[in-house]
Amino acid sequence: MQTTETARPRTALFVTCLVDLFRPSVGFAAVKLLEAAGCEVHVPVSQTCCGQPAWNSGDRADTRAIAEQVIIAFEKFDYVVAPSGSCAGMLKKHYPEVFAGDPAWQARATAFAGKVSELVSFLADEMGMAAVEATCPAKATYHDSCSGLRELGVRDQPRRLLASVKGLKLAEMKEADVCCGFGGTFAVKYPEISNAIVGEKAANVEAARPDLLLAGDLGCLMNMAGKLKRQGSAIEVRHVAEVLAGMTDAPPIGEGRR
Amino acid sequence: MEVRSPQFRQSAAAALDDARLQGALRQVRSRFIDKRAKGVASLPEFEALRENARAIKNHVLERLDLYLEAYEERVTAQGGHVHWARDASEARGIVLDLCRKANARVVTKGKSMISEEIGLNAFLERHGVAPVETDLGEYIIQLRGEHPSHIIAPAVHLNIGQVRDSFRAAHTHLPPDRAMEAPESLLAEARGVLREKFLSADVGITGANFLIAETGTSVIVTNEGNGDLTQLLPRIHIVLASIEKIVPTLDDMSQIMRLLARSATGQEMSVYTTLSTGPRRRGDLDGPEQYHVVLLDNGRSNMVGTEFQDMLRCIRCGACMNHCPVYQAVGGHAYGWVYPGPMGAVLTPTLVGVDKAGHLPNASTFCGRCESVCPMKIPLPKMMRHWREREFERHLVPADFRRGLKLWAWFARRPFLYRVFAGLGMTVLGLAGRRRGRFARLPLAAGWTAHRDLPAPQGGTFIGQWKRRRGAGR
Amino acid sequence: MSGRDDILRRIRASLGSGDGEAGRAQAVARRLKRHPRGIIPDTGADTGADTVARFVDKARAAAATVETVRSANVGKAIVDFLRAHNLPQRLRAGADERLRRIAWPKGGEPEILAGASDGDDVTGLSHAFAGVGETGTLVLLSGADNPSTVNFLPENHIVIVDAADIAADYETVWTRLRRRFGASKMPRTVNLVTGPSRSADIEQTLIMGAHGPVRLHVIVVTG
């Protein structure tokens, strides 16, 4: 006899290194959302990072070693979900390329890639979630993180789900789809240019006059929050999953405990 | 042209501090992007055409030798001459030789990035031939002794006041108190000055947007009509083109032409698209007596068959740089050579060496907007990453960055140790940043905290907390 | 080794060609001979949409002025255009038979300067080989009939195009060119002209009238 328990898709959370290290609350929000969508959530505890810093720095050997590790830990699940378009994009779009020239591993990486999704688009597209049970009385603006938008087509899903949050009003900013200037190691290698780009982004955010800035990638969020806070802005910054899960108890990104 | 790409960091910093440049760049940001969006929206078949254009160019690149031979055969059959230049120096030599045979003193020029690539103007001047740029933007920067900062809008970094000053300084034959307020008056002035040059030039040099193998035709696309006067009036027309400009047929050219103007300026069609085939014919009342094509390789034949082959599909529309947040921030000159923006970040290392141009493929956030707007679907970020791989292999990456990356990767491959150190580190940082929630200054993150705060970690890791909770709960 | 042979050798080496050489050559020959059309934007021409009307709209959108007249009234249209813009009743034009047959209003025939333009002409008159409805583009061919200098040197350019010569797309015009000049042959110059000359090189502000004509007036001739 089949129980409802076994009918739920076995879904592994790839929490991403930034959420793991900087903002565990996003991970718990993701777990809550996945469970609400009917998933059986698993968290392989051997996970570290997707390898993107090495990949984008031209270090193929380390990328490959890390990618193998991720695939081995995650390939047995029905779905692999990450609360980040950037890391999900790495797993889904780049892993098969990492193994170019090794047909056996490439096939394995391709099969693995087929299971990978970014969190919010997974909820909407794969699990058919049309609304969430959450309340957040605020005017919010949403930044489209680049990889999620352009590699994975994440754009309408977060906006649709946010529209179902009670009390939340979404105000679009100008150039919502333009990069925030984070770019992973780019922000470290070219801090002045990164700063100029995030300066433009912060101005566009401010111009929309929101209470809350949301996005689906913690790297972008830390960059934008860092800039807004340095400029003394009162706008609160959160990962979109926190709002969708109704888990806004933790202080916003870059804010201390009150 | 001197390669100033190694100084990218300093040039970019200077550009960020240049208020006038920043004002000019703001216009790139809004105008080009809006116009392209409208141009693309006006053609429902745009996406299908992109696919087809890519297929056409890929077809050509896999048979480039054969199409070049077919093209040459057609040019020659119609009375033109094809000259093959292995590198910049050979190309310059061929052009100078043609100018000398014609006793040329004044050479008019249509806009040509190949001319910039081979440093033609300085070379001709050194050898007693005066090149006159006739595209308004190129003319302005020639007066100022500058190089283009954009491949289709060479003077995009300047404002009207700077143009006015340059005209006042150069056009001393005109009354100093003439009206120069309106941009229209500046254009009219340039038109007047250049009209004389057009009529007196001995040789006209243009680039080519396409070379058509079917007919032996070169094609230029302009809005001003300067390219047409350049090739129509002098006795000799020289076309400068790189070998990858070949398309098979008129029909193939039309496919790509539908993408070019829309991607570049948002126009459905540029004002003048001119197809030139050979010199003046019997009975013609105008047109050049000689028609020469200089086919430049300059490293391109080595790109064929490599991971950089896709770059040879580029049609030089400029959409990638218009949409690039880094280009928008620092402008074209910071890139330090002829080709700026994402396409330059890929192309420049192949042409001047990655040891000199190593910054360019690194100075990208990989936001992917360039690839998403590229009419030829060139995977620009992917190719920049290939350059980073070559740099990493050749140890051209700064040593401390490399060490940091290796250390991180070492931990990332050892989940247990990673867990121990990360848990410890985040607990310490979390406690330190607990009250304010962020750091205004932090050792090892100075580049970041110079401009923005670093949000503090919440303390403890997700995995650590998950293990504890699940351990307790289940 | 000559530059030519060296470049071709390098390309062949990079392509690793050798195998399938005959196949590559065949593919090239086939494409050059058959010149497949690719994707033609749907202008509605197949379903009877009015290509001429589209041409007029698009040419106007590109800042050309356009009028549609019957062939008997072309002369009057030209004279009226010159008068309306305070231009001298003098035209530079080539030897095109169709221009010679223009019926001018009685006593109002403008002076026609025959031949190529030398840069001193105020107004040029040309007859187009074709029009393209897709973008409102004129197709002009070089030669004694319509010297190319007439298209570019005068500040004003009047172009006559027969409505019957307006095609939906460029590809249809290439087919006509091949028929007229022979396969793989071309006139010295084919000018595709879409509106009057312009520049946006100063602060990206669009200014009309760069090196080519400031005004482009198109006369579409029906019947």
The residue among A94, A124, A154 that closes a domain is A124
Chain B residues lying within 8 Å of C188, measured CB to CB:
276-281, 284, 287
Share above pLDDT 70 across residues of chain C, in percent, rounded to a whole number: 98
Residue-averaged pLDDT of chain C: 95
Residue A56 and residue A17 share a domain: yes
Distance between C84 CA and the closest CA of chain B, angstroms: 23
B436 domain residue, yes or no: yes
Residue C12, token pair as written in the block:
């062949």
A256 domain residue, yes or no: no
Residue B442: its pLDDT value, please?
84
Q: Is the pLDDT of residue A2 over 80?
A: no
A173 domain residue, yes or no: yes
Residue B192 and residue B166 share a domain: yes
How many angstroms separate the CA atoms of B274 and C192, rounded? 6
Among A146, A187, A192, the residue with its CB nearest the CB of B367 is A146
Averaged pLDDT, B122-145: 97
Q: Give the single-character DSSP code of C105.
A: P
Task: Record the pTM.
Answer: 0.96
A251 domain residue, yes or no: no
Q: Which of B273-287, C44-58, C78-92 has the lowest mean pLDDT?
A: C44-58
Distance between C205 CA and the closest CA of chain B, angstroms: 8
Q: Is the pLDDT of residue C48 over 80?
A: no
Question: For residue C20, what are the domain limits?
Answer: 3-34
- Which carries the bigger pLDDT value, residue A220 or residue A7? A220
Residue A195's domain is classified under what CATH number? 3.40.50.11810
Averaged pLDDT, C64-83: 97
3-class SS of residue A81: strand
Averaged pLDDT, A111-136: 98
3-class SS of residue B217: strand
| Secondary structure, 3-state, B353-372 | CHHHHCHHHHCCCCCCHHHH
Determine the Cα angle at B181 with ends B177 and B183, to 5°: 125
C148 Cβ under 8 Å from any chain B Cβ? yes
Residue B473: its pLDDT value, please?
46
Report CB contact under 8 Å: A57, B413.
Answer: no
Question: For residue B455, what are the domain limits?
Answer: 400-473
- Which carries the bigger pLDDT value, residue A185 or residue B241? B241
Cβ atoms within 10 Å of B10's Cβ, excluding its own? 12
Residue A235 and residue A177 share a domain: yes
C122 domain residue, yes or no: yes
Report CB contact under 8 Å: C7, B243.
Answer: yes
Q: How confident is the model at residue B34 (pLDDT cuts 50, 70, 90)?
A: very high
The residue among B301, B335, B369 that closes a domain is B301
Residue C159 and residue C137 share a domain: yes
Residue B388 and residue B405 share a domain: no
Report CB contact under 8 Å: A187, B436.
Answer: no
Chain A adjacent subunits, 3+ CB pairs under 8 A: B
Report CB contact under 8 Å: B225, C36.
Answer: no
Nearest CA in chain B to C136: B269
Residue B398: its pLDDT value, please?
87
Report CB contact under 8 Å: A256, B453.
Answer: no
Averaged pLDDT, C176-184: 96
* Interface ipTM: 0.97
Question: For residue A198, what are the domain limits?
Answer: 130-244
B72 domain residue, yes or no: yes
Averaged pLDDT, C15-24: 78
Chain B residues lying within 8 Å of C41, measured CB to CB:
43-45, 258
B15 domain residue, yes or no: no
Q: How confident is the model at residue B397 (pLDDT cuts 50, 70, 90)?
A: confident
Q: Is the pLDDT of residue A6 over 90?
A: no
Chain C residues lying within 8 Å of B255, measured CB to CB:
38-39
Nearest CA in chain C to B138: C201
A74 domain residue, yes or no: yes
What is the rounded radius of gyration, in angstroms, for the C-alpha atoms of chain A? 18
Size of chain A in residues: 258
Q: What is the pLDDT of residues C196-211, one digit of tens each?
A: 999 999 998 899 999 9
Averaged pLDDT, C171-188: 97
Chains A+C touching (3+ CB pairs under 8 Å) = no
Distance between B86 CA and the closest CA of chain C, angstroms: 6
> What domain count does chain C have?
2
Chain B residues lying within 8 Å of A196, measured CB to CB:
16, 329-330
B6 domain residue, yes or no: no
Averaged pLDDT, A207-215: 98
How many angstroms separate the CA atoms of A137 and A139, rounded? 7
Q: What is the pLDDT of residues B58-84, one digit of tens each?
A: 999 999 999 999 999 999 999 999 999
Averaged pLDDT, B355-360: 96
Residue B310 vs residues B263, C5, C26: alpha-carbon distances, Å:
18, 24, 23
Report CB contact under 8 Å: C207, B183.
Answer: yes
B53 domain residue, yes or no: yes
Residue A101 and residue A138 share a domain: no
Averaged pLDDT, C181-200: 97
> What domain count does chain A have?
2
Residue-averaged pLDDT of chain B: 95
Concatenated DSSP letters for A207-243?
HT--SEEEES-HHHHHHHHHHHHHTT---EEEEHHHH
A252 domain residue, yes or no: no
Distance between C171 CA and the closest CA of chain B, angstroms: 6
Residue B191 and residue B146 share a domain: yes
Residue A123, token pair as written in the block:
């909820």
Q: Is the pLDDT of residue B29 over 90?
A: no
C41 domain residue, yes or no: no
Residue A54 and residue A39 share a domain: yes
Contact C3, B90 (CB under 8 A): yes
Distance between C51 CA and the closest CA of chain B, angstroms: 16
Q: Is the pLDDT of residue B474 over 60?
A: no
Chain C residues lying within 8 Å of B155, measured CB to CB:
201-202
Chain A residues lying within 8 Å of B389, measured CB to CB:
58-60
Q: Is the pLDDT of residue B465 over 60?
A: yes
Q: What is the pLDDT of residues A121-131, one digit of tens each?
A: 999 999 999 99
Contact C127, C146 (CB under 8 A): yes
Report CB contact under 8 Å: B412, A56.
Answer: no
C92 domain residue, yes or no: yes
Q: Is the pLDDT of residue B160 over 90?
A: yes
Chain B residues lying within 8 Å of A250, measured CB to CB:
458
Report CB contact under 8 Å: B426, A49.
Answer: no
Residue C189 and residue C161 share a domain: yes
Residue C19 and residue C53 share a domain: no
Residue C156 and residue C81 share a domain: yes
Cβ atoms within 10 Å of A61's Cβ, excluding its own? 11
Averaged pLDDT, B315-331: 97
C57 Cβ under 8 Å from any chain B Cβ? no
Distance between B162 CA and the closest CA of chain C, angstroms: 10
Chain B residues lying within 8 Å of C94, measured CB to CB:
285
Chain A residues lying within 8 Å of B434, measured CB to CB:
256-257
3-class SS of residue B277: coil
Residue A91 and residue A11 share a domain: yes
Among B362, B451, B455, the residue with its CB nearest the CB of A22 is B455
Chain C adjacent subunits, 3+ CB pairs under 8 A: B
Distance between B239 CA and the closest CA of chain A, angstroms: 38
Residue C51's domain is classified under what CATH number? 3.40.50.10420
Distance between B97 CA and the closest CA of chain A, angstroms: 44
Report CB contact under 8 Å: B437, A57.
Answer: no
What is the rounded radius of gyration, in angstroms, for the C-alpha atoms of chain B? 26
Which residues make Cβ contacts (< 8 Å) with residue B443, sequence separation at least 6?
Answer: none
Chain B residues lying within 8 Å of C27, measured CB to CB:
59, 63
The residue among B272, B301, B330 that closes a domain is B301
Residue A20's domain is classified under what CATH number? 3.40.50
Q: Is the pLDDT of residue B86 over 90?
A: yes
Amino acid at A175: E
Among A69, A151, A254, the residue with its CB nearest the CB of B413 is A69
Report CB contact under 8 Å: C10, B287.
Answer: no
Contact A19, A88 (CB under 8 A): no
Residue C189: its pLDDT value, please?
98
How far, in whole angstroms, is CA B220 from its chain's centroid?
17
Residue C65 and residue C21 share a domain: no
How many B/C residue pairs have CB atoms within 8 Å?
276
How many angstroms separate the CA atoms of C143 and B227, rounded? 19
Residue A3: its pLDDT value, please?
47
Among C116, C149, C211, the residue with its CB nearest the CB of B194 is C211
Residue A257: its pLDDT value, please?
79
Among C3, C194, C201, the residue with its CB nearest the CB of B137 is C201
Residue B261's domain is classified under what CATH number? 3.40.50.10420
Nearest partner of B324 among A178, A215, A190, judged by Cα: A178
Nearest partner of B213 among B239, B241, B245, B240, judged by Cα: B245
C184 Cβ under 8 Å from any chain B Cβ? yes
Residue B383 and residue B414 share a domain: no
> What domain count does chain B have?
3
